[in-house]
């Protein structure tokens, strides 16, 4: 990296608890230490943004913000947190067998303890059970519908209260809907609010067949046409469209690249010392998530993992014009793998009120209508159900994205 690791440091600990019915007791303490370069805080202040980072191994969503000129990190427990989607009304966080939905409570943010610390708050309100579909990235459509990368079933899907998930699209080389992780579909780029590109680790149609070609079998697919627009990547992740350009992480090589979908040419923009997952962009700056490699066969032969001692876990800020590394945040202990990095624009210091406030050492937040307002709220027609707004796209007819005219999922 162009910016050497000469950090100003900070230390933060958080608690991760498990509970039994009787008694409730604390069993684990996780200490997280981190360091950051001197330019990381000024960069966030200049951009007027903050970050949300998911780490599935540690089971956290981390808010990264600035208060009174100091870097502030908040840790919220979300079991095996994967993709994070930031939308106009809130967040979605993918988990091992469900998706958490958090409401944007910006009007209440400055009241959350400690008062006056936050300028935006996200409150966990619902969870939707999908089953363990190995969800990876998530994204909101222009109509407010949530799209998921369903890695186990090799498809893109949406949610509907009558089903665990609704399959919407598969790569053309996948011949059936089966829980076999055939190509390790993982990343999703949206364009004008609809799915545009996806990344996968291979073109296999066999159960977990992508593992045989992980070193150079990674591809980018155009969703509308089903055409592979570029290949030869090593375990690619996190495709994004920024100012009309397609960017992605060539994760196994530790590279941020630009791809020309017309001719498949790939241009190197930057290199970084970690396995890349998570790409958030604000203006001309890309925030790239870096992870250390697990000691598993999955990473055997992957170029970036040849020197494990040099690998870092954290976030590096890259100038997309020059390719220079401008600043970084590095986790020294407690966190070794990241999955997603999302920008929260126009927000200085957000707070995530997760589903486990006691474990997060947060004061619980209750949003309840006053008695006079409660009388005007209609009762549910069915006891035990959750009232839902009419879905923006209630039709279950295939397809909901163009480019595929025949239903590929047949019973």
**pLDDT at res. 388:** 54
Q: Which of 137, 54, 18 is nearest to 331 (CA)?
A: 54
CA dihedral 150, 151, 153, 157 (to 10 degrees): 20
**pLDDT at res. 381:** 53
Greater model confidence, 394 or 336: 336
Q: Mean pLDDT throughout 97-108?
A: 93
Is the torsion defined by CA of 270, 271, 273, 276 positive or negative? positive
**pLDDT at res. 29:** 66
**pLDDT at res. 1:** 41
pLDDT above 50: residue 386: no
pLDDT above 90: residue 404: no
pLDDT above 50: residue 408: no
**pLDDT at res. 226:** 97
Percent of the chain with pLDDT over 70: 84
pLDDT above 90: residue 11: no
pLDDT above 90: residue 171: yes
- Over its C-alpha atoms, the chain yields an Rg (Å, rounded) of 21
Is the pTM above the cut of 0.85? Answer: yes
Q: Is residue 397 very low, low, confident or very high in pLDDT (cuts 50, 70, 90)?
A: very low
Q: Mean pLDDT throughout 189-206?
A: 97
**pLDDT at res. 327:** 98
Structural domains in the chain? 34-374 (2.120.10.30)
Contact 147, 195 (CB under 8 A): yes
Q: Which residues contact 225 (CB under 8 A, 6 or more apart)?
A: 403
Q: Which residues contact 385 (CB under 8 A, 6 or more apart)?
A: none
**Residues 349-376: pLDDT tens digits?**
999 999 999 888 888 888 888 888 888 8
What is the H or E stretch that residue 346 is in?
Answer: none
Contact 144, 86 (CB under 8 A): no
Q: Which residues contact 373 (CB under 8 A, 6 or more apart)?
A: none
Q: Which residues contact 136 (CB under 8 A, 6 or more apart)?
A: 82, 83, 94, 149, 151, 185, 186, 187, 339
pLDDT above 70: residue 57: yes
**Residues 200-239: pLDDT tens digits?**
999 999 999 999 999 999 999 999 999 999 999 999 999 9
**pLDDT at res. 257:** 98
Contact 325, 272 (CB under 8 A): yes
Q: Mean pLDDT throughout 186-199?
A: 97
Tokens read off for 276: 């890349």
**pLDDT at res. 106:** 85
Greater model confidence, 146 or 298: 146
Greater model confidence, 297 or 72: 72
pLDDT above 80: residue 7: no
Parallel, antiparallel, or unpaired: how do β-strands 120-129 and 350-353 relate?
Answer: parallel
Greater model confidence, 396 or 266: 266
| Coil/strand/helix, residue 209 | helix
**Residues 299-354: pLDDT tens digits?**
888 999 999 999 999 999 999 999 999 999 999 999 999 999 999 999 999 999 99
Instruction: Give the length of the chain.
Output: 411
**pLDDT at res. 372:** 85
Laid out side by side, the sheet with 237-242 consists of: 237-242, 245-250, 255-259, 266-271
**pLDDT at res. 151:** 98
Greater model confidence, 212 or 296: 212
Q: Is residue 2 very low, low, confident or very high in pLDDT (cuts 50, 70, 90)?
A: very low
């Amino acid at each position: 990296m162009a910016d050497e690791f000469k950090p100003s440091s900070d230390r933060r600990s958080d608690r991760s608890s498990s509970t039994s019915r009787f008694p409730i007791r604390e069993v684990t303490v996780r200490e997280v230490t981190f360091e950051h370069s001197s330019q990381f805080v000024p960069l966030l202040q200049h951009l007027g943004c903050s970050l949300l980072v998911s780490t599935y191994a540690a089971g956290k969503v981390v808010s990264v913000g600035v208060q009174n000129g100091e870097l502030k990190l908040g840790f919220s427990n979300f079991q095996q947190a994967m993709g994070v989607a930031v939308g106009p009304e809130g967040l979605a966080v993918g988990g091992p067998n469900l998706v958490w939905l958090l409401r944007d409570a910006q009007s209440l943010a400055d009241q959350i303890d400690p008062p006056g610390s936050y300028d935006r708050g996200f409150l966990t309100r619902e969870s939707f059970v999908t089953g363990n579909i190995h969800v990876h990235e998530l994204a909101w459509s222009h109509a407010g519908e949530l799209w998921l990368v369903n890695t186990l079933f090799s498809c893109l899907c949406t949610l509907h209260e009558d089903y665990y998930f609704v399959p919407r699209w598969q790569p053309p080389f996948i011949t059936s809907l089966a829980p076999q992780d055939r190509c390790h579909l993982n990343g999703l780029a949206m364009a004008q609010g609809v799915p545009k590109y996806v990344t996968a680790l291979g073109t296999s149609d066999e159960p977990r067949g992508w593992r045989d070609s992980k070193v150079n079998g990674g591809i980018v697919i155009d969703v509308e046409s089903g055409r592979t627009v570029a290949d030869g990547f090593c375990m690619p992740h996190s495709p994004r469209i920024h100012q009309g350009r397609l960017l992605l992480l060539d994760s196994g090589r530790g590279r941020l690249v630009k791809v020309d979908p017309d001719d498949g040419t790939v241009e190197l923009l930057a290199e970084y010392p970690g396995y890349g997952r998570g790409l958030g962009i604000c203006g001309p700056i890309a925030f790239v998530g870096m992870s250390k490699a697990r000691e598993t066969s999955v990473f055997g032969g992957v170029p970036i993992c040849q020197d494990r001692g040099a690998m870092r876990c954290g976030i590096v800020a890259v100038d997309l014009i020059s390719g220079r590394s401008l600043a970084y945040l590095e986790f020294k202990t407690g966190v070794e793998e990241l999955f997603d990095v999302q920008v929260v624009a126009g927000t200085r210091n957000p707070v995530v009120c997760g589903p486990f406030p006691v474990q997060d050492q947060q004061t619980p937040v209750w949003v309840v209508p006053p008695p006079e307002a409660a009388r005007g709220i209609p009762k549910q027609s069915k006891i035990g159900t959750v009232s839902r707004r009419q879905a923006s796209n209630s039709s279950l007819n295939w397809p909901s994205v163009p480019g595929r005219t025949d239903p590929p999922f047949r019973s």
